[in-house]
Chains A and B, each alone.
Chain A
Amino acid sequence: MSRVKEAFQDKKALIPFITGGYPSLEVTKKLLSVMQEAGADLIEIGIPFSDPAAEGVEIQEANERALAAGCTTDKLFDMVKESRKEVKVPVIYRTYFNPIYTYGKEKFMKRCVECGIDGVIVPDLPYEEKDEILPMCRQYGVDLISIVVPFSKERIFRTAEEAEGYIYCVSRPDLERKGEKIQTALAETAALVREAADIPCVADYDSLEPEQGRTLVKIFDGVAVHSAVMELISRYGEACVPHVSEYVRKIKEAVK
């Protein structure tokens, strides 16, 4: 069993996300430590990219600022490697495909192993394109984490059957707009995943309040906190560390 899957054993996992190098690599390094200490079971780090079109404008701004502050893929790898002296929880890279492709797929995987990256989430690599890196991920033992969305039964099955690490269930804003009960849709999605494979299923959790987390972990094996932590970092900048720590502790309490 991969280290990533192990992190879900006998508990609901909390997975905070931060953009690497935002507001600085030093702060990112501190955040890794304090988030682990506050109860994060896995941590996702975004490799800053010039055009993160799959994410909102807030995250794009964080990406731009990280790049402007001089963060590069190499510097981020170095920082993660350094932090691995203290950080023992699995660390996942969330990155667009171009930074991997341009870096060199094999070189990238080698660096993941060397620096202690356990898995990668590549939002612009859907099922149709995942063969770009899946064989190499398997060769180097880096989990390629997949994403599924509600109301795509066939795709959910196909994806889940070949999935590694955990599966990410993301909502569909257009459904929310139409007034669909998103909670029900996500529950159905998780049920389909479980039907297809024995793999932890994680939901996006974007609230600053713990209540939503309690509801979500009734359905899911864990929650990934994507924009909420980023919001705190944006609000407090260099001084964000204690605020993020407090928040992660509060959510962990709610979802464990």
Chain B
Amino acid sequence: MSEKNRKKKGRYGEYGGQYIPETLMCAVQELTDAYERYKNDPEFIQELTKLFRDYAGRPSMLYYAEKMTKDLGGAKIYLKREDLNHTGSHKINNVLGQVLLAKKMGKTRVIAETGAGQHGVATATAAALMGIECEIFMGKEDTNRQALNVYRMKLLGAKVHAVTSGTQTLKDAVNETMREWSRRMDDTLYVLGSVMGPHPFPMIVRDFQKIIGEEIRSQLMEREGKLPDAVVACVGGGSNAMGAFYDFIKDLEVRLIGCEAAGHGIDTDRHAATVAKGSTGVFHGMKSLFCQDEYGQIAPVYSISAGLDYPGIGPEHAQLAKEGRAQYVPVTDEEAVEAFEYLSRIEGIIPAIESAHAVAYAKKLAPAMKKDEIIVINLSGRGDKDVAAIARYRGVKIYE
């Protein structure tokens, strides 16, 4: 392959690329070659399909939220139940793929960053299953917010490092995992958790997550004989949204809506709404949209949701936003918490606070749509991990 083509391959319009130190180029190239080799390998596909089915519990259900639909009085609402996957979120899809790939590559150790802890838990799970050593990097602040997930990872045999540099959140966890990878590439694969970072990560993670959208298509065709009118998903780095959107990008009649964390509001300085408030920059190996200042210093971001508390967005989302193919909307903490409580009561489903951002926007959208139209909300994760934080938010004291 010519140099030019290889370069083009990791691009989504002007976004994407491989902005990483020379030291890491060797590791990234090795991963690219391995992925190219295995992605169409029948044995690899068969093994992964089996893991998806027997271990993760795929296909995940597409549930008709009848009470919610009636309550909102507009479009029909379906929930794609990624929260019912093993480990409780869509993150398992990607890690089964990447850890299996690591094993094929002869790696004996995986490392990963985590925000809310869902990707860390998923990685630790896959590593335990496949007998691979696992170390997770998590911002100190997030280890406090999500203490239960820290213990969960330890139970699964992973070593958890609390990252104390910078803002002590997800972006710093990514920095530290990159550092660790460049210190130890020979036996270690970095299992990146979202559709971000240098090429080939945005592509690999998307490929392992796109099954979400493929299932939505076939399940909805079976149930309703048509495609959804809108697919709604929350966006931090954007892996669950990309997984849900990807199969529909070519179907222009399907609206794709990503919900960003607006924290206290996009007119305050306490948010993580990258598309609404960010600008083009280069960070964490990719050209994309970032919350940053006039000198390109990455801004400290905020969201009640540790999983959306990231100052950037995957490059393919940046391109979808630029083309106008997908729409990105800000959702505040308060709206997300209300949606968290709403879905719990009306459908008996406690969503992850991340996914509650998507529920919140769908609540606004549905009444404005016709009754024969369909919204699919990607319910990317379950909310057990958030219960204590929501109680705190509401001023309720819980003694665990």
Contact = CB atoms under 8 A, between A and B. Distances in A.
Interface stretch (B78-86, B117-125, B180-188, B216-224): B180-188
Interface string A84-103: 00000000000011111111
B372 interface: no
Nearest to B172: A51
B21 interface: yes
B185 A174 contact: yes
A54 B25 CA distance: 12
A126 B183 contact: no
B281 A60 contact: no
Interface stretch (A11-19, A144-152, A247-255): A144-152
Interface in B289-314: 290, 292, 294-298
A126 B21 contact: yes
A129 B172 CA distance: 24
A152 B178 contact: no
Majority SS of interface residues in chain B? mixed
Interface in A101-131: 101-103, 123-129
A99 B297 CA distance: 7
A37 to B, nearest CB: 31
Contact of A103 (B18, B183, B184, B296): B296
A147 B21 contact: yes
B327 interface: no
Given A72-B295, A98-B282, A129-B18, A177 B23 contact: no
A53 interface: yes
A173 B183 contact: yes
Interface string A49-71: 11101101100110010010000
Contacts, number: 121
Interface residues of A, number: 42
Interface residues of B, number: 39
A50 B183 contact: no
B285 interface: yes
Contacts of B19: 97, 124-126, 129
B281 A170 contact: no
A54 B182 CA distance: 9
Contacts of B281: 98, 101-102
Given A149-B26, A152-B26, A174-B183, A54 B298 contact: no
A181 interface: no
A172 interface: yes
Could you say which of A67, A126, A155, A173 has the most chain B C-beta atoms within 10 Å of its C-beta?
A: A126
Contacts of B298: 50-51, 98
A126 B292 contact: no
- 7 interchain residue pairs of minimum CB distance: A102-B296, A98-B296, A53-B175, A54-B21, A50-B297, A99-B296, A173-B183
Interface of B: 3, 6-7, 17-23, 25-26, 165-166, 171-172, 174-175, 178-179, 182-186, 279-285, 290, 292, 294-298
Given A98-B282, A128-B7, A174-B183, 10 more contacts: A54-B23, A73-B296, A98-B298, A100-B296, A101-B282, A102-B294, A148-B22, A172-B26, A174-B186, A178-B186
28 contacts: A49-B296, A49-B297, A51-B172, A51-B298, A53-B175, A54-B20, A54-B178, A56-B179, A57-B165, A57-B179, A67-B297, A97-B19, A97-B282, A98-B292, A101-B282, A102-B294, A103-B296, A123-B21, A123-B22, A124-B20, A126-B20, A128-B17, A149-B22, A149-B26, A151-B26, A170-B22, A173-B184, A174-B186
